Amino acid sequence: MWNNFVAESKNATFLFHRNFMDYHSNRFEDYSLLVYKNDKLIALLPLNKKENEVVSHQGLSYGGLLFSKKIKFKESLESFKSILNYLASHKIQRFHLNVMPKIYHIMPADEIDYLLFLTDARLTRTDLSSTIDLGNPIKIQSNRMEGVKKAKKLGLTIKEDANFTPFWNDILIPNLKAQHDATPVHSLDEIEKLAKNFPQNIIQFSVYKEEMIVAGATIFETEHLVHVQYISANAQKQQLGSLDFLFHYLITERYKGKRYFDFGISNVNNGKQMNDGLLYWKECFGARGISHQFYTIETTKYSKLDSVFL
Phi, psi of 251 (to 5 degrees): -75, -45
Q: What is the pLDDT of residue 24?
A: 73
pLDDT of residue 288: 98
Q: pLDDT tens digits for 18-59?
A: 999 887 777 889 999 999 999 999 999 999 999 999 998 887
User: How far is Cα 31 from Cα 12, in angstroms, rounded to an integer?
Assistant: 18
Q: Residues 183, 131: contact at Cβ < 8 Å?
A: no
Cα separation values, 23 from 84, 122, 186, 191, Å: 27, 31, 10, 9
Distance CA 155, CA 152 (A): 5
3-state secondary structure of 98: strand
Residue 106 is predicted with a pLDDT of: 93
Q: What parts of the chain have a pLDDT lower than 50? A: none
261 within 8 A of 247, measured Cβ to Cβ? no
pLDDT of residue 150: 97
**What is the C-alpha to C-alpha distance for residues 213 and 156, in angstroms, rounded to an integer?**
10
pLDDT at 179: 87
Q: Are 255 and 220 in contact (CB under 8 A)?
A: no
CB 99 within 8 A of CB 43: no
In this structure, what are the phi and psi dihedrals at residue 77, rounded to the nearest 5 degrees?
-60, -45
- The pLDDT > 70 percentage for the chain reads 100
Q: What is the pTM of this model?
A: 0.94
pLDDT digits (tens, 9 = 90+) for 141-190: 999 999 999 999 999 999 998 899 999 999 999 999 998 888 999 999 99
CA–CA separation, 118 and 131 (whole Å): 29
Beta bridge partners of 288: 131
Cα dihedral 182→186→192→195 (10° resolution): -130
Work out the angle between the directed axes of helices 142-153 and 276-284 (0-180°, nearest 10).
80
> Could you tell me the domains of the chain?
2-127+293-305 (3.40.630.30), 136-258 (3.40.630.30)
Strand-strand pairing, 53-56 and 94-98: parallel
pLDDT at 63: 85
Looking at every residue in the chain, the average pLDDT score rounds to: 95
